[in-house]
Structure 1
Amino acid sequence: MPLLAPPYVVFDRAQWAALRGGTSLALSEIDLPALAGVNDPATLADVVELILPLVRLVDLHIAAARSLSAMVEGAFVGQPRATVPYVIAVAGSVAVGKSTFARLLQAVLARGEQHPRVDLVATDGFLYPTETLQANGLMERKGFPESYDLRKMLAFLEGVKAGTPDLRVPIYSHESYDVLPGRYQSVDRPDILIFEGLNVLQTANSSAAVASDFFDFTIYLDADSATIEKWYIDRFLKLQRTVFQRKTSYFHNYRELTPEAASDLARDIWRRINLPNLTDNIEPTKRRARVVMRKGENHRIEEVWLRQT
């Protein structure tokens, strides 16, 4: 039996996998390399044991939300309207595996008959351009809440929920470490939108709207901070041997560091920037998530926490 840890029911991996029900597997081994991240593997076991039960749960929530919407708009308002996109948020630390997880979730959801159009948007596109961050002394606060154009992000989410066609999201390049001028991702009334980012569950100390006002379902990827630090350093070393070697990389000047020097630099960046952001801004939002998926040291999700309220 799953454990009770109010307000959560806590499942181990096997218990969670058993909740898959009749949800079918629509991916194969050949689909996985394109979905995996840097130093973040994706396996069919993850899809079967973790993503499929989650998709079943999401489908139940979508059906309930649309049934309630139909009753309110039809029976009460008397004016049914088009189905609005269902928005799923995925939050968690730098290097915890959000992007890989979100891509796997998108791939499985998009193969469902009820919602064939599933878009994935990362909050990176709403970061202020490097020029703006530098002018305001925020380069070492990149990823902190104040480094995002919150007004633009909220306008996008409001447009999604309003059914606005052909919304545009700026495209961010991890290679150039900047928003690409004049480059956009088009979002045109999908059945489901997955919105992935560090601080998506953040609240505000005012009456202003926050991103989570527009979310229907929320997921937090979790792991011990010491474990995430190791993943961050491992990823940095892999990027230093690959992407950083390109002249177009913002971090090209790190290309010739020794492994020891690169490890020391990555550790310093983590402890000076990413760990404070995790501790002060990201981790405190964990208990706002409907589902918390907790990883062990080998990137394997070992526990799933399902909020009861």
Structure 2
Amino acid sequence: MNRHSLYMEFSREEWSAIRDHTPLPLTKEEFEKLKGLNDQIPFQEAEQIYHPITRLINLYVAASQQLYKSAAYFTGSQEAKSPYIIGIAGSVAVGKSTAARLLQLLLSRWTNHRNVDLITTDGFLHPNRVLQERGLMKKKGFPESYDIKRLLQFLTEVKGGKPEVTAPVYSHLVYDIVPDRAQVVRAPDILIVEGINVLQVNKESQVFVSDFFDFSIYLDAEESDIKRWYIERFRMLRDSAFRNPDSYFHRYSTLTEEESVQTATQIWEEINAVNLRQNISPTKGRAQLLLQKGSNHEIRKVLLRK
């Protein structure tokens, strides 16, 4: 371990030992339901990696709750406490959604923060109509494709203790914002915000999304592995969701195996790899916890900011 590094580095075995044999409040059936398409992580991942993470976050939340009580006593404030907000960042196809859902369930099993909510920043993408007008359809997922002002307003209201705050809903099936639908967040103990660019620094703003985070996680892997996982997921979607006539990508459902690989590779190289290199990967050093995945989807190293 480099004593001058900003991070404490743990091997998989070292990190697993931190959980101190606290029983895992999760069944294999629950775990399987949480996993995303092509996410091949084993059940042991929850026990050895994510359970210790929730134990650490539980300590942070408890300290935050105590700090709120102390500050409220000092100021005589009667305002509602602010939710503890966790940001989860990383590339497309790296496994963020599974990680976020797993953390949500595990954190909700701790007695001092039962109410754990989860939103994805997909809901804050500009509608396709707007992206088309601005010539940004091929940059969907890039920082400029998001309604940052609306996302910042949402986080401001949540962090400010507003009893109910609404977030737009995104459909991966139709590849667009769903009109007249909203996700309601009701003053949770913890809010998890998952998205590829949540650690991004916007040069045009003095306030960043990450300013609202109490804790942040970056899910990392070699680009070659993420590319392979993306192509594998595309092939699986071709045989499942893309076959739905309502799917935005229905045209891909008739591709041959070779055509699927070629198409997915082209999309990766022209869009996702560019976004990863230019916008996503450079933000990893802003995270408080780095989870480095190996080629088999398992976390092989954990880095915790000092």
TM-score (norm 2): 0.97
- Which residue pairs with 1:14 in the alignment? 13
Letter of the aligned partner of 1:73 in structure 2?
A: A
| Structure 1 residues 218-254: Cα deviation after superposition (integer angstroms, max 9, x where no partner) | 0000001111000000000000111111101100011
Q: CA deviation at 1:207?
A: 4.9
Letter of the 1:20 partner, please give it.
Answer: R
Q: How far apart, CA to CA, are the structure 2 residues paired with 1:181 and 1:28?
A: 36
Letter in 1 for 2:295: E
Alpha-carbon distance, 1:183 to partner: 1.1
Which residue among 94, 102, 107 is the counterpart of 1:96? Answer: 94
For residue 192 of structure 1, the aligned residue among 172, 187, 190 is: 190
Structure 1 window deviating more from structure 2 (84-93 vs 66-75): it is: 66-75
TM-score between the two structures when normalised by the length of structure 1 = 0.96
State the Cα RMSD in Å.
Answer: 1.3
> Does residue 109 of the first structure (1) align with residue 107 of the second (2)?
yes
CA distance in 2, matches of 1:296, 1:145: 27
Extract unaligned runs of 5+ from structure 1: none
Distance in structure 2 (CA, Å) of the matches to 1:3 and 1:27: 35
Counterpart for residue 140 of structure 2 = 142
Bigger CA drift: 275-284 or 55-64?
A: 55-64
Which residues of 2 match residues 120-269 of structure 1 at below 5 A?
A: 120-269=118-267
Provide the rounded CA distance (Å) in 1 between the counterparts of 2:140 and 2:204: 22
Secondary structure, in 3 states, of the residue corresponding to 2:254? Answer: coil
Larger displacement relative to structure 2 (275-284 or 5-14): 5-14
Take 1:12 and 1:192, find their aligned partners in 2: how far apart are those partners? 28
Asked if 1 retains the 8 angstrom alpha-carbon contact of 2:41 and 2:298, the reply is: no
Give the partner amino acid of 1:231.
W
Q: Does structure 2 retain, via aligned residues, the 8 Å contact 1:89–1:196?
A: yes
* Long gaps (5+) in structure 2: none
| Superposed structure 1 runs of 4+ greater than 6 Å apart | none
SS in 2 for 1:185: strand
- CA shift, 1:78, in A, is 3.0
Moved more, 164-173 or 65-74: 65-74
2:53 is matched with which residue?
Answer: 54
Partner of 1:21, secondary structure, is coil
CA contact (8 A) 1:119 1:193 kept: yes
In structure 1, distance between residues paired with 2:228 and 2:3: 30
On the 8 A contact 2:125/2:147 being kept in 1, the answer is yes
Checking the alignment, whether the CA contact within 8 Å between 1:33 and 1:42 is kept in structure 2 is no
Aligned-pair CA distance for 1:167: 1.1
Does the residue aligned with 1:287 lie in a helix, a strand or coil? helix
Aligned-residue sequence identity (percent) comes to: 47
Alpha-carbon distance change, 257 to 3 in structure 1, aligned in 2, over 3 angstroms: same
Is residue 8–residue 304 contact of structure 2 (8 Å, CA) maintained in 1? yes
**1:264-299: CA deviations, max 9, x gaps?**
110110011001111111111101000000000011
